[in-house]
Amino acid sequence: MHDRDPAPGSSAARPLSWQQAREAAWSADLAGPPTGLVVRAVVVTCVAFAVAGVLGGWLWAQLADPPAYEVLRAGAIMGEEQAGREFGVDVTYALIGLGLAIPLGLLAGWRWHRVGWPEVLATAGGAGIAAVVAWQLGVWWGPDDPVGLLSAAQPGDLLSDQLDVHAKGLLLAWPVGALIGVIIAVLVFSRPSRPRPYGGNGSSGTW
């Protein structure tokens, strides 16, 4: 007696359910992401953070309020009140870094979380590059060195100090913020736990 073909509409002719399709994808993922995908994710992530570093340096130069020297007849002096503004310059740099790095880390984690640890390293390294780029460009775009302006200044003039990150540990605001974003993205968007076989109620399903 020959087996008959499954009748249309029967359970045996049913197409793969979304649970079965997701389980098949799980099995395919065990080999890891393709090398080309990993390279592309790393390069795109580093370039994106480098561009963010340029933007961060420009924002720091625009928003920071550096202390100023008061020109005297015999030179220039910075008062205590002005010296206290150095802290604000550092805080502004750190806040800009966090404000740019966290969203970029979220974006990188959402887009490339299946790449795994290479993407985490790329995010941390790219954010470190962005921190240095923002720092150096902010110094370049900010006020000139007051020493070079002193000879042309008059007593009573105020000469803004150059921008600088006085607490160098704040350079870590960029990579720390980026990693926070990646961790959040991985927790939210990462692959769910291995689904149960199709069939419901924990029973074995028909493939």
pLDDT digits (tens, 9 = 90+) for 139-149: 999 887 766 66
What stretch of H or E contains 127? Answer: helix 117-141
pLDDT surpasses 70 at 176: yes
Alpha carbon distance 40, 124 (integer Å): 16
HSE, CB side, 13 Å, CA atoms: give it for residue 161.
21
Domain for residue 6, yes or no? no
Domain for residue 12, yes or no? no
What range does the domain containing 45 cover?
33-67+81-143+168-189
Domain for residue 136, yes or no? yes
Pick the more confident residue, 15 or 190: 190
Domain for residue 8, yes or no? no
Domain for residue 151, yes or no? no
Q: Which of 42-46, 174-178, 184-188 has the lowest mean pLDDT?
A: 184-188
Domain for residue 117, yes or no? yes
pTM of the model: 0.72
Domain for residue 116, yes or no? yes
Per-residue pLDDT reduced to its tens digit, 153-162:
656 566 677 8
Domain for residue 21, yes or no? no
Q: Please state, rounded to an integer, the average pLDDT across all residues of the chain.
A: 77
Q: For the chain, what is the domain count? A: 1
